[in-house]
Amino acid sequence: MKWGQNFDGQRSGMDHLGIFIGICAVFFWVLGAYLWQPLIWAGWVLIMLTYVRSFSKNKLRRHQENIRFLKYWYPVQSNLTNRFRKYRAKREHRHFKCKECRQKLRVPRKLRRVQVTCPKCRETFVKESLQGKILRMMKR
């Protein structure tokens, strides 16, 4: 039987809240192993809670709990994905401002040496990454 599978359709099974509590339990075990041992017991209590919930026959109640949990969880989740997207954008592009008009510009990081033309004021200048500078110095 797969983890969280509904074997007779009567049980609540695993939902978002159940998965979240399960992840918390693993987190507690890791903390317990390194910091403070009683947390391992707290982890077991949480695992028991996910079992009790997933084998519970009171589906409506468990569903309501899950909805209440998601109300708090979705804002956290979208915040995290936004942060991740921003981080990725930062990693792939170098951001800087035009020396003439302060227009915000970006160039892909993999280009070591690139001539940039500002789209606003048509000023052109050369941007070179640290990596590009080092390579140029080594060639001399």
Would you tell me which residues interact with Zn ion (CB under 5 A)? 98, 100-101, 103, 118, 120-121, 123
DSSP state string for 124-139: EEEEE-HHHHHHHHHH
Q: How far is the CB of 94 from Zn ion (least distance, A)?
A: 16
Distance (Å) of CA 60 to CA 10, 12, 14: 11, 9, 14
Q: Which is nearer to Zn ion, 61 or 102 (CB)?
A: 102
For residue 52, give both structure tokens.
Answer: 């009790």
Q: How far is the CB of 102 from Zn ion (least distance, A)?
A: 7
* Residues constituting the chain: 140
Nearer to Zn ion, 57 or 99 (CB): 99
DSSP at 96: E
Structure tokens of 93? 């592009």
Q: Buried b vs exposed e over 9-20: b needs ≥16 C-beta within 10 Å? A: eebbbbbebbeb
Residue closer to Zn ion, measured from CB, 65 or 123: 123
State the residue for tokens 């994905």. Answer: 81
Minimum CB distance to Zn ion smaller for 70 or for 107: 107
